[in-house]
Structure 1
Protein backbone atom coordinates (compact mmCIF):
# COMPACT_ATOMS: atom_id res chain seq x y z
CA UNK A 1 0.00 0.00 0.00
CA UNK A 2 2.80 2.43 0.78
CA UNK A 3 4.40 1.91 -2.65
CA UNK A 4 1.10 2.77 -4.37
CA UNK A 5 0.73 5.89 -2.26
CA UNK A 6 4.32 6.95 -3.00
CA UNK A 7 3.90 6.27 -6.72
CA UNK A 8 0.63 8.20 -6.77
CA UNK A 9 2.28 11.16 -5.01
CA UNK A 10 5.13 11.13 -7.54
CA UNK A 11 2.68 10.99 -10.48
CA UNK A 12 0.63 13.84 -9.03
CA UNK A 13 3.77 15.94 -8.46
CA UNK A 14 5.06 15.20 -11.98
CA UNK A 15 1.70 16.16 -13.48
CA UNK A 16 1.62 19.43 -11.55
CA UNK A 17 5.18 20.26 -12.58
CA UNK A 18 4.41 19.38 -16.22
CA UNK A 19 1.25 21.50 -16.24
CA UNK A 20 3.00 24.51 -14.73
CA UNK A 21 5.96 24.15 -17.08
CA UNK A 22 3.68 23.93 -20.11
CA UNK A 23 1.83 27.05 -18.97
CA UNK A 24 5.11 28.95 -18.59
CA UNK A 25 6.20 27.83 -22.07
CA UNK A 26 2.79 28.67 -23.57
CA UNK A 27 3.03 32.21 -22.17
CA UNK A 28 6.64 32.56 -23.30
CA UNK A 29 5.62 31.42 -26.80
CA UNK A 30 2.84 34.04 -26.89
CA UNK A 31 5.40 36.62 -25.80
CA UNK A 32 7.40 35.93 -28.97
CA UNK A 33 9.55 32.84 -28.39
CA UNK A 34 7.97 31.12 -31.40
CA UNK A 35 10.20 28.01 -31.65
CA UNK A 36 8.72 26.86 -28.32
CA UNK A 37 5.61 25.80 -30.24
CA UNK A 38 7.57 22.81 -31.55
CA UNK A 39 8.44 21.72 -28.00
CA UNK A 40 4.99 22.08 -26.45
CA UNK A 41 2.30 21.53 -29.12
CA UNK A 42 1.22 17.97 -29.91
CA UNK A 43 0.32 16.81 -33.39
CA UNK A 44 -3.46 16.71 -33.55
CA UNK A 45 -3.70 19.78 -31.30
CA UNK A 46 -7.17 21.34 -31.21
CA UNK A 47 -8.15 24.89 -30.24
CA UNK A 48 -11.53 26.08 -28.97
CA UNK A 49 -11.53 29.82 -29.60
CA UNK A 50 -13.99 32.45 -28.41
CA UNK A 51 -12.62 34.77 -31.10
CA UNK A 52 -12.07 33.26 -34.54
CA UNK A 53 -10.94 36.49 -36.21
CA UNK A 54 -7.26 35.52 -36.03
CA UNK A 55 -7.53 31.80 -36.78
CA UNK A 56 -9.80 29.06 -38.00
CA UNK A 57 -9.62 26.47 -35.20
CA UNK A 58 -9.79 23.66 -37.76
CA UNK A 59 -6.38 24.73 -39.11
CA UNK A 60 -4.57 24.78 -35.76
CA UNK A 61 -3.62 21.11 -35.73
CA UNK A 62 0.14 21.17 -35.11
CA UNK A 63 3.08 23.28 -33.93
CA UNK A 64 3.69 24.87 -37.33
CA UNK A 65 0.11 26.17 -37.55
CA UNK A 66 0.08 27.33 -33.91
CA UNK A 67 3.32 29.22 -34.53
CA UNK A 68 1.76 30.92 -37.59
CA UNK A 69 -1.27 31.83 -35.46
CA UNK A 70 0.90 33.46 -32.80
CA UNK A 71 2.80 35.37 -35.51
CA UNK A 72 -0.51 36.63 -37.01
CA UNK A 73 -1.77 37.84 -33.65
CA UNK A 74 1.50 39.46 -32.60
CA UNK A 75 2.06 41.14 -35.99
CA UNK A 76 -1.10 43.22 -35.59
CA UNK A 77 0.33 45.17 -32.64
CA UNK A 78 3.35 47.38 -31.99
CA UNK A 79 3.75 45.70 -28.60
CA UNK A 80 2.04 42.76 -26.89
CA UNK A 81 3.09 41.26 -23.53
CA UNK A 82 1.22 38.50 -21.70
CA UNK A 83 1.41 37.90 -17.94
CA UNK A 84 -0.25 35.40 -15.64
CA UNK A 85 -2.46 36.91 -12.93
CA UNK A 86 -4.02 33.82 -11.34
CA UNK A 87 -2.71 30.31 -11.60
CA UNK A 88 -1.53 28.12 -13.05
CA UNK A 89 -4.04 25.74 -11.52
CA UNK A 90 -3.39 22.12 -12.47
CA UNK A 91 -6.12 19.47 -12.45
CA UNK A 92 -4.08 16.27 -12.26
CA UNK A 93 -7.02 14.00 -13.05
CA UNK A 94 -8.02 15.85 -16.23
CA UNK A 95 -4.39 16.77 -17.07
CA UNK A 96 -5.35 20.39 -17.59
CA UNK A 97 -3.83 23.67 -16.51
CA UNK A 98 -5.88 26.84 -16.17
CA UNK A 99 -4.82 30.46 -15.84
CA UNK A 100 -6.25 33.93 -15.83
CA UNK A 101 -3.99 36.20 -17.84
CA UNK A 102 -3.62 39.80 -18.88
CA UNK A 103 -2.01 41.15 -22.04
CA UNK A 104 -0.89 44.74 -22.35
CA UNK A 105 -0.12 46.13 -25.73
CA UNK A 106 0.20 49.05 -28.05
CA UNK A 107 -1.90 49.37 -31.19
CA UNK A 108 -0.20 49.63 -34.59
CA UNK A 109 -3.27 50.56 -36.63
CA UNK A 110 -3.54 47.06 -38.11
CA UNK A 111 -6.50 45.38 -36.38
CA UNK A 112 -9.42 47.18 -37.98
CA UNK A 113 -10.89 47.78 -34.50
CA UNK A 114 -12.52 51.16 -33.90
CA UNK A 115 -10.17 52.06 -31.05
CA UNK A 116 -7.01 50.93 -32.87
CA UNK A 117 -5.12 54.22 -32.92
CA UNK A 118 -1.40 53.92 -33.58
CA UNK A 119 0.46 54.22 -30.29
CA UNK A 120 -2.63 53.79 -28.08
CA UNK A 121 -2.16 51.35 -25.21
CA UNK A 122 -4.69 48.61 -24.46
CA UNK A 123 -5.29 45.74 -22.07
CA UNK A 124 -6.95 42.40 -22.74
CA UNK A 125 -7.78 39.79 -20.11
CA UNK A 126 -8.58 36.16 -20.61
CA UNK A 127 -8.64 32.63 -19.35
CA UNK A 128 -6.96 29.67 -20.99
CA UNK A 129 -7.35 25.99 -20.24
CA UNK A 130 -4.70 23.71 -21.69
CA UNK A 131 -5.09 19.92 -21.81
CA UNK A 132 -1.85 18.00 -22.01
CA UNK A 133 -0.61 14.48 -22.57
CA UNK A 134 2.92 13.11 -22.60
CA UNK A 135 4.39 16.54 -21.92
CA UNK A 136 2.66 18.34 -24.82
CA UNK A 137 -0.43 20.49 -25.15
CA UNK A 138 -3.14 18.58 -27.00
CA UNK A 139 -6.03 21.02 -26.69
CA UNK A 140 -6.78 24.54 -25.53
CA UNK A 141 -9.86 26.56 -24.66
CA UNK A 142 -9.36 30.29 -24.67
CA UNK A 143 -11.52 33.35 -24.17
CA UNK A 144 -10.52 36.97 -23.94
CA UNK A 145 -12.09 40.39 -23.67
CA UNK A 146 -10.67 43.92 -23.87
CA UNK A 147 -10.62 45.87 -20.63
CA UNK A 148 -11.97 49.39 -20.81
CA UNK A 149 -11.28 50.03 -17.13
CA UNK A 150 -8.33 48.15 -15.70
CA UNK A 151 -9.06 47.17 -12.06
CA UNK A 152 -5.62 45.57 -11.66
CA UNK A 153 -3.43 48.50 -12.63
Structure 2
Protein backbone atom coordinates (compact mmCIF):
# COMPACT_ATOMS: atom_id res chain seq x y z
CA UNK A 1 0.00 0.00 0.00
CA UNK A 2 1.41 3.38 -0.94
CA UNK A 3 1.38 6.48 1.22
CA UNK A 4 -1.28 8.19 -0.91
CA UNK A 5 -3.78 5.31 -0.72
CA UNK A 6 -6.80 5.91 1.47
CA UNK A 7 -7.56 3.13 3.91
CA UNK A 8 -11.26 2.41 4.49
CA UNK A 9 -12.49 3.57 7.90
CA UNK A 10 -12.34 1.06 10.76
CA UNK A 11 -9.79 -1.07 8.94
CA UNK A 12 -7.70 -2.81 11.59
CA UNK A 13 -4.17 -1.42 11.71
CA UNK A 14 -1.02 -2.72 13.36
CA UNK A 15 -1.50 -5.50 15.95
CA UNK A 16 -5.29 -5.43 15.55
CA UNK A 17 -5.01 -6.55 11.92
CA UNK A 18 -3.32 -9.83 12.88
CA UNK A 19 -5.68 -12.60 14.03
CA UNK A 20 -4.34 -14.31 17.13
CA UNK A 21 -4.66 -18.06 17.54
CA UNK A 22 -7.10 -19.45 20.06
CA UNK A 23 -10.76 -18.83 20.76
CA UNK A 24 -12.36 -15.68 19.40
CA UNK A 25 -13.50 -14.12 22.69
CA UNK A 26 -15.25 -11.21 20.99
CA UNK A 27 -17.39 -13.63 18.99
CA UNK A 28 -18.28 -15.60 22.12
CA UNK A 29 -19.06 -12.35 23.92
CA UNK A 30 -21.39 -11.39 21.08
CA UNK A 31 -23.15 -14.78 21.22
CA UNK A 32 -23.39 -14.59 25.03
CA UNK A 33 -25.05 -11.17 24.85
CA UNK A 34 -27.78 -12.48 22.53
CA UNK A 35 -28.44 -15.69 24.47
CA UNK A 36 -28.33 -14.04 27.90
CA UNK A 37 -30.57 -11.23 26.65
CA UNK A 38 -33.28 -13.70 25.65
CA UNK A 39 -32.91 -15.64 28.92
CA UNK A 40 -33.05 -12.41 30.93
CA UNK A 41 -36.30 -11.40 29.24
CA UNK A 42 -37.87 -14.71 30.29
CA UNK A 43 -36.42 -14.56 33.82
CA UNK A 44 -37.33 -10.92 34.44
CA UNK A 45 -40.88 -11.15 33.13
CA UNK A 46 -41.41 -14.39 35.09
CA UNK A 47 -40.09 -12.63 38.19
CA UNK A 48 -42.37 -9.63 37.65
CA UNK A 49 -45.40 -11.81 36.90
CA UNK A 50 -45.02 -13.89 40.07
CA UNK A 51 -44.21 -10.92 42.30
CA UNK A 52 -46.77 -8.44 40.98
CA UNK A 53 -49.69 -10.34 39.46
CA UNK A 54 -50.05 -13.74 41.12
CA UNK A 55 -51.92 -13.93 44.41
CA UNK A 56 -52.63 -10.60 46.07
CA UNK A 57 -50.37 -8.68 43.72
CA UNK A 58 -48.07 -5.92 44.82
CA UNK A 59 -49.80 -5.50 48.19
CA UNK A 60 -48.50 -8.95 49.20
CA UNK A 61 -44.84 -7.98 48.79
CA UNK A 62 -43.28 -7.92 52.23
CA UNK A 63 -40.59 -9.68 54.23
CA UNK A 64 -42.71 -12.83 54.58
CA UNK A 65 -43.22 -13.01 50.80
CA UNK A 66 -39.48 -12.80 50.17
CA UNK A 67 -38.79 -15.31 52.95
CA UNK A 68 -41.27 -17.71 51.37
CA UNK A 69 -39.68 -17.36 47.94
CA UNK A 70 -36.14 -17.80 49.23
CA UNK A 71 -37.12 -20.94 51.15
CA UNK A 72 -37.82 -22.69 47.84
CA UNK A 73 -34.82 -24.03 45.88
CA UNK A 74 -36.60 -23.30 42.56
CA UNK A 75 -36.86 -19.57 43.31
CA UNK A 76 -33.35 -19.47 44.73
CA UNK A 77 -31.96 -20.84 41.47
CA UNK A 78 -34.28 -18.58 39.42
CA UNK A 79 -33.14 -15.43 41.25
CA UNK A 80 -29.46 -16.39 41.28
CA UNK A 81 -29.55 -17.18 37.57
CA UNK A 82 -31.19 -13.80 36.94
CA UNK A 83 -28.56 -12.10 39.13
CA UNK A 84 -25.60 -13.81 37.44
CA UNK A 85 -26.87 -13.23 33.91
CA UNK A 86 -27.76 -9.60 34.58
CA UNK A 87 -24.36 -8.76 36.09
CA UNK A 88 -22.34 -10.62 33.46
CA UNK A 89 -24.50 -9.24 30.63
CA UNK A 90 -24.21 -5.68 31.95
CA UNK A 91 -20.49 -5.94 32.62
CA UNK A 92 -19.83 -7.37 29.18
CA UNK A 93 -21.80 -4.49 27.67
CA UNK A 94 -19.79 -1.96 29.69
CA UNK A 95 -16.58 -3.72 28.61
CA UNK A 96 -17.62 -3.29 24.99
CA UNK A 97 -18.28 0.42 25.53
CA UNK A 98 -14.91 0.87 27.27
CA UNK A 99 -13.15 -0.98 24.44
CA UNK A 100 -14.88 1.23 21.86
CA UNK A 101 -14.23 4.61 23.45
CA UNK A 102 -11.10 4.39 25.62
CA UNK A 103 -8.03 4.63 23.41
CA UNK A 104 -5.30 4.41 26.06
CA UNK A 105 -4.48 0.72 26.55
CA UNK A 106 -3.49 1.05 30.23
CA UNK A 107 -6.61 3.02 31.16
CA UNK A 108 -8.75 0.54 29.21
CA UNK A 109 -7.14 -2.39 31.05
CA UNK A 110 -7.70 -0.75 34.45
CA UNK A 111 -11.34 0.06 33.66
CA UNK A 112 -12.16 -3.39 32.29
CA UNK A 113 -10.42 -5.11 35.20
CA UNK A 114 -12.26 -2.97 37.73
CA UNK A 115 -15.58 -3.70 35.99
CA UNK A 116 -15.03 -7.46 36.29
CA UNK A 117 -13.77 -7.24 39.89
CA UNK A 118 -16.84 -5.25 40.98
CA UNK A 119 -19.19 -7.56 39.06
CA UNK A 120 -17.53 -10.63 40.58
CA UNK A 121 -17.82 -9.17 44.09
CA UNK A 122 -21.50 -8.32 43.59
CA UNK A 123 -22.26 -11.75 42.13
CA UNK A 124 -20.62 -13.47 45.11
CA UNK A 125 -22.39 -11.19 47.58
CA UNK A 126 -25.80 -11.64 45.90
CA UNK A 127 -25.39 -15.41 45.69
CA UNK A 128 -24.50 -15.58 49.38
CA UNK A 129 -27.56 -13.50 50.28
CA UNK A 130 -29.91 -15.75 48.31
CA UNK A 131 -28.53 -19.08 49.54
CA UNK A 132 -27.88 -18.12 53.17
CA UNK A 133 -31.07 -16.12 53.71
CA UNK A 134 -32.66 -17.01 57.05
CA UNK A 135 -35.94 -15.27 57.87
CA UNK A 136 -35.65 -16.19 61.55
CA UNK A 137 -32.55 -14.06 62.22
CA UNK A 138 -34.33 -10.69 62.70
CA UNK A 139 -36.11 -10.07 65.99
CA UNK A 140 -39.68 -10.71 64.89
CA UNK A 141 -42.09 -10.18 67.74
CA UNK A 142 -44.83 -8.28 65.97
CA UNK A 143 -47.17 -11.24 65.45
CA UNK A 144 -46.27 -11.73 61.78
CA UNK A 145 -46.59 -15.06 60.00
CA UNK A 146 -42.81 -15.36 59.77
CA UNK A 147 -42.48 -14.88 63.55
CA UNK A 148 -45.00 -17.67 64.17
CA UNK A 149 -43.21 -20.02 61.76
CA UNK A 150 -39.83 -19.25 63.37
CA UNK A 151 -41.22 -19.88 66.86
CA UNK A 152 -42.72 -23.19 65.67
CA UNK A 153 -39.37 -24.30 64.22
CA UNK A 154 -37.32 -23.22 67.25
Shared fold (TM-score, shorter chain, > 0.5):
no
TM-score range, shorter chain: under 0.3
Q: Higher strand proportion, which one?
A: 1
TM-score, normalised to structure 2's length? 0.27
Which of the pair has more CA radius of gyration?
2
TM-score, normalised to structure 1's length? 0.27
Q: Higher helix proportion, which one?
A: 2
